[in-house]
Structure 1
Amino acid sequence: MTALLLLGLSWNALAADVAPAGARPLSTIASLDVPRYMGTWYEIAKFPNRFQKKCVGFTSATYSALADGTLQVRNRCRMDNGQFDEAVGAARQVGGPDSPRLKVRFAPAFLSFLPMVWGDYWVIDLDAGYQLAAVSEQKREFLWILSRTPKVDPARYRALVARLEAQGFDVSKLVPTRQE
């Protein structure tokens, strides 16, 4: 989305990949069916972060499979001036064909050999219908709630937030994303 978003999750890779002191390791979902995960997801809420500071809402991420087995990630949001900002990145699964752990890069492709440009993208909650998801990383500094639709049933949202709190997230930091 902005220049900072282009580096986005890559900044996270500079930090140690460990849970905060005293926190239990973050749990992911058991497995991810990547073809079912493809398509557009709308950001419903997030932890505020430096690389989405200029986004005022209407945020989405579209995932598509590439011939080489990697994924294209296209993030989009509206800025204060009414224009849309877009960042295109790449993702790859880590750990096998059904792994819920991915690495995401928004830095230029020629830098992809550098581990520091890849950030963790862990699917930590996902409903059976692949309609509502939560994504984070081991340190719990970043959190996104994503949905296939711009609106989510309030009861389903509250249940997801309760599960995230049980995973050790400070859910009071969640900020709803304007989608309409």
Structure 2
Amino acid sequence: MNPFRTQRPARRGGRLLALAAATVAALAPALTAGQAAAAGPAPVPALDVTSYLGTWNQLAAVPAPFNLECARDTQANYTLDPQGNVAVFNRCTTWDGGSNEIRGTARIIDQVSKAQLRVEFPNVPFQEDPAGTPNYIVTALGPDYSWAVVTDPSRLSGFVLSRTPALDDASWDQVRGAIEAAGQSPCVYLTSPTTGGIDTIAPLCTR
């Protein structure tokens, strides 16, 4: 849920793109085979939306063009809007030390689990979907909503979110297990630097 605007090319972002491309290319055969054999990722049985609101830190993500502007401290803040939808406010620190942010709206598509949502951002292309297909599926949650793993029906995106800027080793083990249970490989996730947490960008399977 982090489609930040890329305002200008970033040299370090280019190196990140190269790392991302190499990581995905290396894992592509296994990823494709695994996805072909599996159904769509299952949401958690029941999401308490009120407990899910608030600020989340992105600790790892599947690389995508829209987040290459973000160097560190990527956060998502969720609140309820007057229509009962989830108002989304994403922000991050860019490679030149500036700030990048975007606002959007998330609608609950799955009224049974509440864990499948459709997130849309103004002026972001390729979002048209009149049928309301979910593009944000909460597939795993830590104790007391301390962390979450999010993907989409195609498994092309993925986010590890945490209430704190760091997780302990036991929690990381649970996160990697949750990613694999959702039909993805931890190796296609790159760690997201945070102040007070991991300070390097590397495939999640290597830490």
Structure 2 CA distance, aligned partners of 1:60 and 1:95?
24
Structure 2 CA distance, aligned partners of 1:43 and 1:177?
6
Structure 2 CA distance, aligned partners of 1:3 and 1:118?
25
1:2 paired residue number: 5
How far 1:70 sits from its partner (Å)? 0.8
What's the TM-score once normalised by structure 1's chain length? 0.83
1:53 paired residue number: 68
Q: Give SS of 2:122's match.
A: coil
Aligned length: 164
Distance 1:86 1:95, change over 3 A: same
Q: Give SS of 1:29's match.
A: coil
Question: Which amino acid is the alignment partner of residue 99 of structure 1?
Answer: K
Question: Unmatched 5+ residue regions in structure 1?
Answer: 5-18
% identical equivalent positions = 28
Question: Which of 77, 81, 85 is matched with 1:62 structurally?
Answer: 77
Structure 2 CA distance, aligned partners of 1:67 and 1:97?
22
1:23 paired residue number: 38
What's the TM-score once normalised by structure 2's chain length? 0.72
Structure 2 CA distance, aligned partners of 1:162 and 1:118?
26
Structure 2 residue 84 is the aligned partner of structure 1 residue 74:
no
Question: Unmatched 5+ residue regions in structure 2?
Answer: 8-33, 196-207
* Larger-Rg structure: 2
1:13 paired residue number: none
Superposition pairs of residues 11-160 of structure 1, within 5 angstroms = 20-96=35-111, 98-108=113-123, 114-115=128-129, 120-160=135-175
How far 1:118 sits from its partner (Å)? 7.4
What do you get for the CA RMSD once the two structures are aligned?
Answer: 2.4
Q: After TM superposition, where is structure 1 displaced by more than 4 Å over at least 4 residues in a row?
A: 116-119
How far 1:28 sits from its partner (Å)? 1.0
Q: Give SS of 1:51's match.
A: helix
